[in-house]
Amino acid sequence: MKFSTRRFNEWLILVMIVVLVPFGFEYVQNNWNPLPKAVDYLFNYHPTNIVIALGTIDAINLFGGDAVEGFSITWLTASIYFNIVLFLILGPYLFFKGFKQAKKNQENAKPWYWYVGGAICIGSLMIIPMEIKHLYSYSSGVYKSNMESVEKSRESDLVRRELTNVGFKAAEYEIVKDGFDESFEIGELDLEELKYVHSVENIYSDTLLVISVSNPEQPELGYQMEVRPYSESVLRFRN
């Protein structure tokens, strides 16, 4: 066998190991389940997910008034160290040692541990694009969520601000024109360029008027306000 053909076959076998072994392991586990599910953590490409999960559980317990467990040596936390040793130490060591051993024989044939180390190294390199995709998806989702939250908060402030302006105008209308009666409507205030829909909910003589505001595009942003023209607290938002 020619030298180039041998080298090609060696790398081809290595790639096949990288592709077939994980799929074969997953297939066997899913169909026959010979090993406990916890064994999956021994080959976890995202060991930091365990830290995030444990931290999330502690945060939930903290806000719920329960005891915080913290980080102790368990099967999950031990798997983090195992993955670090596997991907950063053991894999490169076996791969490099296999190269050195192959140079000692005439045919330059690779020993079995070269294939094991090479498969681990390729698997560790595959973490990089997976992590980039994971971080991109996470950051995009968080950014989108934050922007939606900011936009909703800004819209809520605008709704409340406009309702406050209408409330002050209504109080002024009552004091100046003595205008509250059962037929009173927001349109009598002669306010222009109102962005949202304002309406009178209840009129309790000239001492209390309840008005509301709504946004047809975002019904959840509706608010109600009590207008007391002759009180120290003229305006008050209702819950």
**What rounded mean pLDDT belongs to the chain?**
80
The whole-angstrom separation of Cα 222 and Cα 24 is 56
Token pair listed for 179: 């205008």
The whole-angstrom separation of Cα 77 and Cα 111 is 33
Q: Is residue 141 over pLDDT 70?
A: no
pLDDT in tens, 45-62: 666 677 777 777 777 777
pLDDT at res. 38: 63
| Mean pLDDT to the nearest integer, 187-191 | 85
Q: Is residue 193 over pLDDT 70?
A: yes
Looking at the chain, the whole-number percentage of residues with pLDDT higher than 70 is 83
DSSP-derived 3-state class of residue 35? coil
Q: Is residue 36 over pLDDT 80?
A: no
| pTM of this prediction exceeds 0.75 | no
Phi, psi of 204 (to 5 degrees): -110, 80
pLDDT in tens, 51-97: 777 777 777 777 767 777 777 777 777 888 888 888 889 999 999 99
The whole-angstrom separation of Cα 109 and Cα 92 is 18
Decide: 181 and 200 in contact? Cβ < 8 Å: no
Residue in 208, 211, 212, 203 with CA at minimum distance from that of residue 230: 208
Q: Which residue has the tokens 């390199």?
A: 125
